[in-house]
Amino acid sequence: MGMRKTTPARGGFSLVELLVAVAILVIVILSIAQIFRTVGRSVRTSNAVIEVDANARAVMRQIANDVSRIDRQGFLAIRSNQVMSTVRSQVSFIAHGTHGNRTGPLDQTSASTAELQSYAAHIYYGFLINPEDIRSNGPVRETQLVQSSPGRLTDRSLGQVDNSRQEQNIAYLGRHAFLLVPGNSAANINQVMTPSGVAVPAHRDIALTAGNIPVRTGGVTEPDAHPSAGRTGVASLTPSQLMARLRLQKYEPVRIDAHVPVYGNAASNSIYADRRVGLAGKTTGLFVSVGSGGNSFSSAGMMPQYDGSDYWCEARLFCYPFRTLREPREGTDINGAPDYVNGINRMTSILAKYCWEFRVDWTDGQTDNTGNLRWIGNGSNFSLDSLNNWNYSGNGSDPNNQPRVWPPVDFATINTSSENAMAARSVLPGISDLTPSASRALGGAPFSSGSTPLILGDNYTAIWSFDSRQPWPKALRVRMTLRVVGLEMGTGTGQFYNLPTRTYSQVIWLPQ
Amino acid sequence: MTNTQSSRAFTLTETIIAVLVFGIGLIMLATVFPVAGNWARQSNEETAGQMIGQTAIAAIQTRFKGSDFSSVGTTVVALPFTTQQLPWRTRGYQYGSLSSGTPWPVPSTINVPPMYSWVALIRRQPGQIPGQDNRFDLYVLVCKKGQLDQTFGNDAAGLEGRLNSDPKNASGNHYLPRLATTNSFGTLNGVRCVGVSSGRIWRVLPGSQPSEDCWYVPAPDNSDSTASPVLYIYQATVAF
């Protein structure tokens, strides 16, 4: 009797067991994946928060450093725009001290690597538009301001237009340093002499009213001009000499025509600003001033193309209130040197990405009824009425009954404005150049529709200057809101998650 | 006759090992969670500390003049006239977003329970030429309440969020700086403080206590006495 050898069969898994096991495994894997996703998101958000924190600290430190060197022989201008519901202030002033050139050679066409230092600079803080905005349906490296509805320009940087490219459209907070150097090179009219006697390329964005001198930049002839043209001379000035010279010139108006062609597209009701020949040629930002009141475009008013003529409205809007140098003029000082100063435009372009709001208030050091400092500015307890008076609505009444004209508001637009109204509200002596002029594009042609100025929505511009003799602020309060932006993992089209905004505020004392 | 042998089950040892391995993995995974949060919190606190500290210096510069400090010598003292010149709301800060999600700047301009505040110390900088220099060392002790429900901003009537008087804790003690003598550090472990004589910033640790009297800020109410609210000590030298 043969024994049948049987191999003990291993108990296999049944189909049900397999299905259950697979289901459990899938659930576990999905749970773990969710954990990783959550952790990854948390880490990315935290990293973004840390980054904007660091950015905010650096920006505040930079502003405080600049403000600590403010020179009261110059001026301080605080401008307030309102774009959508956000306040976008600009602040500009003359700061003494040593200002270095940190952005390399001054001219792309020049081999000069001269290290430039200046003893005074015109400092600007305000918004930039991301020049690297690459639109899917427009020219590369241009920034588009789109008219979304009658009466309002939509700043795409706010992400209102194309959310899928939000990360490319966030406005950047920037710093602009216009280094002031004393004179021109005797050997080359396109160069200026640094205080240390080194010849460096002159700033090429200051128009010379005596006649434009075409210069070549990258093979393209542009109507650039140099204030130094035809003048030679000053080798070096001490800081005190420089500031004395600046003071003598009283910061009277100079037309700074930054060569940023702004042209329109009548069909799409849009404006393009080309940065390729932008400020200082190689800067990475374009200054724009986008208003919120009374803006409307007519197709007929749009510029069909850029022809190199007087169309640089955007840049002028920025530049005009913040005049630094008077027009170059003939003449010599007691030593026979040309008595003018010169400037070189240098920029630390982007200070903070994803900056949503930037507002600057000021205080005269007075307190309200509760003993707290009164802050004046857009959105503070002080507000401008239609008569251009500052009304106080803080705790109690204005205990000191201060003159309501303080601070000196250069011009203001409340609801709608006109250039005439702005000029009429000018309280600054010695700045007669605010006289309305049809040929000047400050809210006028070609961005105009009848008497309504366009691309202009300033709430106010307050200016303190050496000449105005107005009491200067005791301190500034700088507030900025940064938005933490991050891309969701695995999505290439820009799906955003969790966009917290963080507001930073710091009081900066002004040297008295 | 078919003898089907049942498959062998996991032994207890195998199961325990598997659970251990799985547990270790989970623990390692779990440790990742708080790291990012801690980084963000540290960054947040450092940012708040620096900005509030710098703001405090600016506020002091704005509200004081050199003659206000004529009585200040080279030993560290509490900033004189603090409550008169710098009322509580000027020193109360809401940082970040309110519960509504609306970002709110510092300092507080509405009556909300502030998250941060500061107090200041001052001394005349040693080594100055008498009658010529007027430089002062300022120490800003930036404070943060530990929990949202702490009444960091109580006024004298105990009404939370009323910012019109200097904050007190539940015991009625102001959050103004307080002096600790060398024999009273025993209950202040972990507290950061400023030396009265040297101006040195100390941290009270077991076995390593300051060798001089120090200024510190008392703990929030109903909390561990060692839980100092001092988040950051900002130091600057200012000429008045």
pLDDT tens for B12-39 read 788 788 888 887 887 777 776 677 677 7
Q: Do A506 and B3 touch (CB under 8 A)?
A: no
Q: Where on the phi/psi map is residue A141: left (φ > 0), alpha (ψ -120 to 50), or beta?
A: left
In a domain, B196, yes or no: no
Q: Residue B186: its pLDDT value, please?
A: 77
In a domain, B66, yes or no: yes
Is B62's Cβ below 8 Å from some Cβ in A? yes
DSSP alpha helix (H) spans, chain B: 12-63, 82-85, 88-91
Partner residue opposite B6 with nearest CB, options A11, A372, A505: A11
Confidence bin at B116 (pLDDT 50/70/90): confident
Across the A:B interface, residue pairs with CB atoms under 8 Å apart total 117
Q: How far apart are CA A89 and CA A376, in angstroms?
A: 13
In a domain, B59, yes or no: yes
Residue B122 has pLDDT above 80, yes or no: yes
Q: Residue B140: its pLDDT value, please?
A: 93
Q: Residue B138: its pLDDT value, please?
A: 95
In a domain, B89, yes or no: yes
Query: Tokens representing A464?
Result: 């303190």
Q: How far apart are CA B119 and CA B194, in angstroms?
A: 12
Query: Tokens representing B94?
Result: 């809401």
Residue owning tokens 């075409």: A214
Q: Write the ipTM.
A: 0.73
Q: Which is it for the CA torsion B183, B186, B187, B190, positive or negative?
A: positive
Residue B165 has pLDDT above 80, yes or no: no
Partner residue opposite A503 with nearest CB, options B58, B85, B105: B105
Q: Could you tell me if B169 and B154 are in contact, meaning their C-beta atoms sit under 8 angstroms apart?
A: yes
Q: Could you tell me if A285 and A143 are in contact, meaning their C-beta atoms sit under 8 angstroms apart?
A: no
Residues of chain B positioned with their CB less than 8 A from the CB of A371:
84-85, 87, 89-90
Q: Residue A444: its pLDDT value, please?
A: 28
Whole-angstrom distance between the N-terminal and C-terminal Cα of chain A? 119
Half-sphere exposure of A16 (CA within 13 A, CB side): 0
Phi first, then psi: give them for residue A219, nearest 5 degrees.
85, 0
Query: Tokens representing A431?
Result: 């700045």
Query: Tokens representing B231?
Result: 């988040």
**Could you tell me the residue ranges of all domains in chain A?**
41-509
| Of the candidates A115, A96, A90, A95, the residue with the CA atom closest to the CA atom of residue A105 | A115
Residue B67 DSSP symbol:
G
Q: How far apart are CA A179 and CA A66, in angstroms?
A: 13
Q: Residue B230: its pLDDT value, please?
A: 84
Half-sphere exposure of A253 (CA within 13 A, CB side): 15
Would you call A346 helix, strand, or coil by DSSP? strand
Query: Could you give the C-alpha distances from A495 to A36, A349, A498, in angstroms and in order?
Result: 18, 27, 10
What residues does A352 pair with on adjacent strands? A173
Q: How far apart are CA A24 and CA A43, in angstroms?
A: 28
Residue owning tokens 């030593």: A335
Residue B168 has pLDDT above 70, yes or no: no
Q: Hey, of B61, B108, B237, B240, which one would you mutate to test binding to chain A, going by the most A CBs within 10 A of its CB?
A: B61
- How many structural domains compose chain B? 1
Q: Residue B198: its pLDDT value, please?
A: 92
| Of the candidates B195, B185, B196, the residue with the CA atom closest to the CA atom of residue B225 | B185
In a domain, B4, yes or no: no
Q: Do A365 and B63 touch (CB under 8 A)?
A: yes
Q: Which is it for the CA torsion B203, B205, B211, B215, positive or negative?
A: positive
Name the amino acid, one letter, at A357. E
Q: Residue A72: its pLDDT value, please?
A: 77
Parent domain of B116: 12-177+217-239
Query: Tokens representing A512?
Result: 């008295």
The reply to whether the predicted model has a pTM over 0.80 is: no
Consecutive sets of 10 residues in chain A, 512 residues long: mean pLDDT of each?
57 81 88 80 75 84 90 74 64 76 43 54 67 31 30 31 39 69 54 58 38 31 29 37 45 31 38 32 24 26 27 27 30 43 52 77 77 71 57 54 47 34 29 28 29 39 63 87 58 47 85 84
